[in-house]
Amino acid sequence: MEVSSMIPCKGCTPWQGLLFTASILTCWHLSTTDRFAVQTVPLYVANGDSILFLVRNLPKNLLSFAWIKGKTSMNDAIIVYVPNINLTVPGRFHSGRETVYGNGSLLIQNVNQKDTGFYSLLAFHRRTDTVSQIGTYLYVNTSLSVFCNPLTASPLMIQPVPRYPSEGESVLFEVHNLPEDVEAFYWYIGLNPRIVQYFRSRNSVSWFPTYRKRGWMLYNNGSLMLRGITVKDNGKYTLLFSTKHHEIEKAEVELHVNKSVTQPFVRITDTVIAGQRSVTFSCISRDTDISIRWIFNNQNLKLTESMTLSPTKCGLRIDSAKRENAGEYKCEVSNRFSSKTSPPVFWP
């Protein structure tokens, strides 16, 4: 889509036109919110390093979001992103080293002293005239050197960013200290065919079809960006590379994807046998390897002699149910990474 076709005002820059189209510049309000946060990875950078402004819990249903150099002025935009149409518009401060991702995160490669300063992420909400804002400060330390010991070469290292991502997120396998004389490198996962290969002499990238379709990205320093990951992507990833001296070396990194549980629901079965009323509550969940907790009237359920839990706690039976058993019931499922509570049900 042509950017100009979306801009209704003359003399506007592309990002101004996008925001004008949304009619959110007429009366917008900046507010700091705790609904989402930004984390710098790594915490400290020197000249030539890469920095990732990792965004967590980006608000849903955004019209657009923008990274700017500074705190409030859109004249200092680095990049604007429109999720619905996957449109990226560079701003005045875009240097070609910046990459923005759908979750709001911003990667800046080969940082220098001029990159030092305050960075803000503005999130423009649909159907409202408000803008959410978060910010972070980047300090590029020119006194640091990657060659802290001139007698020893820095070891090759792969760092997953973030360390433990959740399903649906992106993760960057950030490669540090790839040898300068590398002629080609390859990424593999487990024993499967290669993910991607790169030949430096002809700047050629070749993807295995499965991964090309997923929108994964490769950088010329060997780093690999995985988008929309799932638990099926868990495993050991190998970076294999060859040098001008025909030496073959490799480095490995392990990916652990956190799987969030889905919301359960409670089903009630009422029975009457020989005049005695019994009720069974079943906690229905699509997840496995979970723990289950029962909640009665917004408090942890205290078992009585008339109550029986199934071995996995997914079933709760109350024999000879009485008036004191009447009320609101919910179940909560959880794993190591998340928990969800069912909508309430009422008995009788």
pLDDT in tens, 124-150: 887 666 677 787 878 776 554 443 344
For residue 294, what is the domain's CATH number?
2.60.40.10
149 domain residue, yes or no: no
Residue 284: partners with Cβ closer than 8 Å, 6 or more residues away: 264, 265, 266, 267, 314
Is the domain of 173 the same as that of 53?
no
Q: Is residue 151 part of a domain?
A: no
Domain co-membership, 184 together with 224: yes
Tell me the pLDDT of the chain averaged across its residues: 78
Residues 116 and 216 in one domain: no
DSSP designation for 227 = -
The verdict on 166 and 137 lying in the same domain is no
174 burial level (CB within 10 Å; 0-12, 13-18, 19+): buried
Residue 284 predicted with pLDDT over 60 = yes
Say whether pLDDT at 250 is over 60: yes
Number of compact structural domains in the chain: 3
Under DSSP, the state recorded for 3 is G
User: For residue 150, is it within any domain?
Assistant: no
> For residue 280, is pLDDT > 80?
yes
* Together in a domain, 291 and 226: no
Ordered strands of the 224-226 beta sheet: 157-161, 171-176, 224-226, 217-218
What is residue 37's predicted lDDT score, i.e. its pLDDT? 79
Residue 332: its pLDDT value, please?
95
Residue 56 lies in a domain: yes
Tell me which of 114, 141, 168 is where a domain ends: 141
Q: Does one domain contain both 64 and 164? A: no
343 and 251 within one domain: no
pLDDT tens readout for residues 20-74: 333 222 222 323 334 567 888 776 677 788 888 888 888 888 888 899 987 667 7
Domain contains 276: yes
The rounded distance, in Å, linking the Cα atoms of 145 and 326 is 68
Looking at the structure, do residues 223 and 273 belong to the same domain, yes or no?
no
**Residue 4: predicted pLDDT:** 29
Average pLDDT over residues 283-294: 89
- Cβ atoms of 317 and 271 closer than 8 Å: no
pLDDT > 70 fraction of the chain, expressed in percent and rounded: 81
In this prediction, residue 221 carries a pLDDT of 83
Angstrom distance (rounded) from CA 296 to CA 118: 48
Same domain, 69 and 186: no
Structural domain for 166, as ranges: 157-255
Same-domain pairing of 238 and 164 = yes
pTM: 0.45
At residue 152, what is the residue type? Answer: T
- For 330-343, the pLDDT digits (tens) are 999 988 778 899 99
pLDDT at 279: 93
Closest by CA to 182, choosing from 250, 256, 283, is 250
Q: Is the same domain home to 21 and 127?
A: yes
Residues 216 and 299 in one domain: no
User: Span 3-14, mean pLDDT?
Assistant: 34
pLDDT per position as a tens digit, 261-275: 889 999 998 887 667
Query: Quick one: how far is CA 285 from the chain centroid?
Result: 24
Decide which of 106, 141, 176 is a domain's last residue. 141
Sign of CA dihedral 298, 300, 306, 307: positive
